């Protein structure tokens, strides 16, 4: 792939090295015009007729199929809309229904807290004696048993980038009659995923990180073909109805993946995502993964050589981590703020982790080298040790 050509497709502020695409992807240059067209030519001129004339209602599944190619999903089995937390709730509730005689949802302590919050809330509201059980990430395989209803995991740990073996864990779970729910928030657009090949049951993910859909971009949900015709959508929203405009008083689930739709499609956000997907449609995920590993390895080597006081938090084996690298330091927050002030954008996760995302569509070797040099200078001169860098902002 020509990654210099893809870099030219993104707006990146002059002088900035953006290593936070794992948290919010940068703006594709085509997005502003695409959204403006939707606003002026579609909403402005078509008004409500845009739902039919501009195809707004069909976009969730059409965009879902384009995302599906990146995550190894069968055509027609991904749709999008709502937030990731809503999609976690949907997938988990449907998975629980497939194992009604079992009471345990197994996850790990490295899972994204929001997923655990949604699971705990669902357990509390159902009142069926369900239990959310968490174990250390490395103990998940050994903790599987026939008493578990659902295994709910995020494939790539949001803090360290540690990656679960989806194929092995899904097979082990299925051998024990356990249904799987995979969160691909840090996988989709970061590395090759093969949901169909792994025989996954459900998967969810967001589109504002690696997929560059913009802040607030809609989430997606996948349901395997063997489940999609009978899955009960816990959130029986209007647009998941078999005939939304029949205005029946009783709910009838839609056909296939359409039943997992809930609320009104976010038309303007879908327009932004559509522009980003024009880039992703031509991306070779294997080439992207190889490039991501090369950039990450160069960064680790550079940081460990120049900044020995930083301790690697991510797995050293590149095959065991996603497309990010994290380092521990007691003053990690202040160091990251000093980096940001110097034009190197990463982020911080409590208690002491600095995260750096490696997104080959717009990051190259020169960016990595300059980032290492700036970090080394900050550490050498203790630039971070200033009051303004230690004041916690609302978003870290």
* CATH number, domain with residue 304: 3.90.1150.10
Q: The CATH number of the domain where 197 resides is what?
A: 3.40.640.10
Is there a catalytic annotation at residue 2? no
Same domain, 114 and 259: yes
List residues bridging with 134 in a β-sheet.
107
Same domain, 344 and 374: yes
Is there a catalytic annotation at residue 194? no
Same domain, 150 and 251: yes
Q: Pick from 253, 280, 307: which residue ends a domain? A: 280
pLDDT tens, per residue, the chain with 396 residues = 899 999 999 999 999 999 999 999 999 999 999 999 999 999 999 999 999 999 999 999 999 999 999 999 999 999 999 999 999 999 999 999 999 999 999 999 999 999 999 999 999 999 889 999 999 999 999 999 999 999 999 999 999 999 999 999 999 999 999 999 999 999 999 999 999 999 999 999 999 999 999 999 999 999 999 999 999 988 999 999 999 999 999 999 999 999 999 999 999 999 999 999 999 999 999 999 999 999 999 999 999 999 999 999 999 999 999 999 999 999 999 999 999 999 999 999 999 999 999 999 999 999 999 999 999 999 999 999 999 999 988 887
Is there a catalytic annotation at residue 210? no
State yes or no: cis peptide before 396, omega within 30 of 0: no
Buried b (16+ CB within 10 A) or exposed e, 91-102: bbbbbbbbbeeb
Same domain, 292 and 276: no
Q: Give me the catalytic one of 20, 183, 201, 347.
A: 183
Long-range contacts: 383-389, Cβ < 8 Å, 24+?
383/338, 383/342, 384/331, 384/334, 384/335, 384/337, 384/338, 385/331, 385/334, 386/334, 386/338, 388/337, 389/333, 389/334, 389/335, 389/337, 389/338, 389/341
Same domain, 272 and 300: no
Separation between Cα atoms, residue 4 and residue 294, nearest integer Å: 15
List residues bridging with 104 in a β-sheet.
131, 148
At 57 the pLDDT is 95
Separation between Cα atoms, residue 294 and residue 291, nearest integer Å: 5
- φ and ψ at 128, to 5 degrees? -115, 25
At 272 the pLDDT is 98
Q: End-to-end CA distance of the chain: give it in Å, rounded.
A: 33
Q: Which residue has the tokens 């995502």?
A: 273
Q: Give me the catalytic one of 112, 158, 299, 333.
A: 112
Q: Is residue 341 part of a domain?
A: yes
Number of domains in the chain: 2
Q: Is residue 33 part of a domain?
A: no
Q: Give me the catalytic one of 34, 355, 356, 362.
A: 355
Q: Which one, of 194, 178, 193, lies nearest residue 140 by Cα?
A: 178
Q: Give me the catalytic one of 10, 89, 158, 208.
A: 208
At 1 the pLDDT is 87
Same domain, 211 and 325: no
Separation between Cα atoms, residue 102 and residue 148, nearest integer Å: 6
Q: Is residue 219 part of a domain?
A: yes
Q: Is 330 exposed, middle or buried (0-12, 13-18, 19+ CB in 10 A)?
A: exposed
Q: Is residue 371 part of a domain?
A: yes
DSSP calls for 13-50: -TT-EE--TTTSPPEETTHHHHHHHIIIIIIIHHGGGH
Q: Is 278 exposed, middle or buried (0-12, 13-18, 19+ CB in 10 A)?
A: middle
Q: How far is CA 200 from the centre of its chain?
A: 17
Buried b (16+ CB within 10 A) or exposed e, 130-142: bebebbebeebee
Q: Is residue 37 part of a domain?
A: no
Is there a catalytic annotation at residue 362? no
Is there a catalytic annotation at residue 209? yes
- pTM here? 0.96
Domain span including residue 121:
55-280
Same domain, 23 and 63: no
């Amino acid at each position: 792939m020509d990654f210099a050509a893809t870099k030219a497709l993104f707006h990146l502020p002059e002088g900035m090295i953006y290593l936070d695409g794992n948290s919010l992807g940068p703006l594709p240059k085509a997005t502003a015009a695409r959204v403006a067209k939707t606003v002026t030519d579609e909403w402005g001129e078509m008004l409500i007729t845009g739902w039919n004339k501009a195809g707004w209602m069909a976009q969730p599944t059409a965009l879902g199929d384009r995302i599906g190619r990146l995550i190894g999903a069968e055509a027609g089995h991904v749709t999008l809309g709502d937030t990731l937390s809503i999609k976690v709730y949907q997938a988990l509730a449907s998975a629980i229904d497939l194992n009604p005689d079992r009471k345990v949802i197994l996850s790990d302590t490295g899972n994204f807290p929001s997923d655990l919050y949604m699971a705990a809330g669902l357990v509390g509201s159902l009142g069926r004696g369900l239990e959310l059980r968490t174990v250390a990430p490395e103990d998940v395989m050994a903790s599987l048993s026939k008493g578990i209803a659902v295994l709910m995991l995020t494939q790539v740990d949001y803090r360290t980038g540690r990656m679960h073996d989806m194929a092995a864990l899904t097979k082990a779970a299925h051998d024990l009659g356990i249904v799987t729910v995979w969160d691909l928030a840090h996988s989709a657009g970061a590395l090759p995923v093969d949901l169909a090949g792994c025989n996954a049951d459900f998967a969810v993910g967001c589109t504002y990180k690696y997929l560059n859909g913009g802040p607030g971009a809609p989430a997606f949900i996948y349901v395997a073909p063997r489940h999609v015709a009978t899955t009960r959508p816990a959130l029986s929203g209007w647009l998941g109805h078999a005939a939304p405009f029949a205005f029946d008083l009783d709910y009838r689930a839609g056909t296939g993946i359409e039943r997992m739709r809930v609320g009104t499609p976010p038309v303007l956000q879908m327009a932004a995502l559509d522009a980003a997907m024009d880039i992703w449609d031509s991306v070779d995920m294997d080439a992207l993964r190889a490039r991501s590993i090369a950039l990450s390895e160069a960064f680790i080597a550079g940081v460990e050589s120049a900044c020995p006081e930083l301790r690697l938090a991510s797995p050293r084996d590149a095959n065991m981590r996603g497309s990010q690298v994290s380092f521990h330091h007691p003053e990690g927050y202040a160091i990251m703020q000093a980096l940001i002030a110097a034009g190197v954008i990463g982020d911080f996760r409590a208690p002491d982790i600095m995260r750096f995302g490696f997104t080959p569509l717009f990051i190259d070797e020169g960016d990595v080298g300059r980032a290492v040099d700036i970090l080394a200078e900050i550490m050498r001169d203790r630039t971070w040790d200033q009051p303004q860098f230690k004041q916690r902002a609302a978003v870290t």
